[in-house]
Amino acid sequence: MKVAVVILNWNGRKLLEQFLPSVINFSKNEASIYVADNASTDNSVAFVNDNFSEVTIIQNSSNGGYAKGYNDALKNLNEDIFVLLNSDVEVTQNWLTPIITEFKNDTNLVAAQPKILDFKNKGHFEYAGAAGGFIDQLGYPFCRGRIFNTLEKDVGQYNNNANIFWASGACFFIKSDAYWNVEGLDEIFFAHQEEIDLCWRLQSNGGSIKYIGSSKVYHVGGATLNKANSKKTFYNFRNTLLMLLKNAKGNKVWFLLFMRLVLDGVAGVQFLLQGNWKNTIAIIKAHFSFYRLVPTYLLKRKKYASRLEYYINKSIVWNYFIRKNRTFKELK
């Protein structure tokens, strides 16, 4: 299998300077390496051209975020496997081999992720993916190794391979034909939750998604937008609503959306009481943006609505905040 490691960049020279060497050192004999630039205004493209001859630059014409950025970057590549890799990820020796081997052995496998650990605290799992992702009935994401802001220490408890619902966009392996068969990433999402939406469609199309515990990377996280950023709040809240409307099976979706809207309101009040009015406004904006997009996503729903049972836990909110379950293994 031919492999393309594609790093999306936007004004990220410092990150490329820090992390691109590990990608080259541990990938150049197994994969072609690309930096897809989203119309950066710093000198990151010139920096890569001057210092890393092994890397091919793909120049996107605009900053379309994660979704459009990758759709534009991947359309002219011919490799069998795409690896969508954040620019703030340090890879390790032998990170590619176990996952590529799994693709060769499991013909039904369409997407995968490695173990994702915290670059700043290397003994613990990292927020954006940890040991593989799931969502609850209301679309709240959680991971093996990470529930809300509780990050587990890596003591080998997730060294196995496992079927998961979504693979992290921080380090996302996908078969190229599977990517295009479901029309790639949803560009309206721009960023955040787009990989979950993609994984939902991949599984609705008959594919499987796995976590491969013998592959390991370290992710900084929040290098583009940190968790407290109101733009990230906007995209996370809006895109979850869009994802549920687009993919959730049956008429129950309307009840789920209503419940999610109520809980979003509670989150908005909580932010306000904390003095974080920017995030409260971001949630309000997210809802109005969602309402405007309902007609568009009703059309998408006709095409993509799944018969797939997508959740393994009805309410991660209840389990975490009421039952005080803090680890994946404690969940019922």
> pLDDT tens digits for 154-186?
999 999 999 999 999 999 999 999 999 999 999
In angstroms, the CA 270 to CA 276 distance is: 9
pLDDT band at 229 (very low <50, low <70, confident <90, very high): confident
DSSP state of 192: S
Residues near 274 by Cβ (< 8 Å), separated by ≥ 6?
A: none
The pLDDT assigned to 58 comes to 98
Checking if the pLDDT of 82 tops 80, the result is yes
Fold of 3-219: Spore Coat Polysaccharide Biosynthesis Protein SpsA; Chain A (3.90.550)
- Tell me the C-alpha to C-alpha distance, in Å, between residue 40 and each of 10, 191, 214, 293, 306: 5, 17, 35, 29, 37
**How large a percentage of the chain has pLDDT more than 90?**
95
Checking if the pLDDT of 227 tops 80, the result is no
- Tell me the C-alpha to C-alpha distance, in Å, between residue 186 and each of 151, 285, 290: 29, 20, 15
Checking if the pLDDT of 228 tops 90, the result is no
As to burial, measured by CB atoms within 10 angstroms (0-12 exposed, 13-18 middle, 19+ buried), residue 322 is exposed
Residues near 243 by Cβ (< 8 Å), separated by ≥ 6?
A: 139, 193, 196, 197, 200
Checking if the pLDDT of 285 tops 80, the result is yes
The half-sphere exposure of 144 on its side-chain side, counting CA atoms within 13 A, is 26
**How large a percentage of the chain has pLDDT more than 70?**
98
The pLDDT assigned to 307 comes to 86
In angstroms, the CA 142 to CA 313 distance is: 10
> pLDDT tens digits for 189-220?
999 999 999 999 999 999 999 999 999 999 99
Contacts for 223-226 with beta carbons within 8 Å, 24 or more apart?
223/12, 223/15, 223/86, 223/87, 223/88, 224/10, 224/12, 224/88, 225/191
Handedness of CA 147, 151, 152, 154 (dihedral sign): positive
Checking if the pLDDT of 134 tops 60, the result is yes
Q: What is the mean pLDDT of residues 119-147?
A: 97
Task: Work out the mean pLDDT of the chain and round it to a whole number.
Answer: 96
Could you give the residue range(s) of every CATH 3.90.550.10 domain in the chain?
Answer: 3-219
The pLDDT assigned to 87 comes to 97
Q: What are phi and psi of 23, to 5 degrees?
A: -65, -45
Checking if the pLDDT of 224 tops 70, the result is no
Which segments of 110-212 does DSSP mark as H helices, in order?
Answer: 176-181, 194-204
Checking if the pLDDT of 299 tops 70, the result is yes
Token pair for 83: 């690896």
> pLDDT tens digits for 230-255?
999 999 999 999 999 999 999 999 99
pLDDT band at 18 (very low <50, low <70, confident <90, very high): very high
> pLDDT tens digits for 94-107?
999 999 999 999 99
| pTM of structure | 0.96
The pLDDT assigned to 221 comes to 86
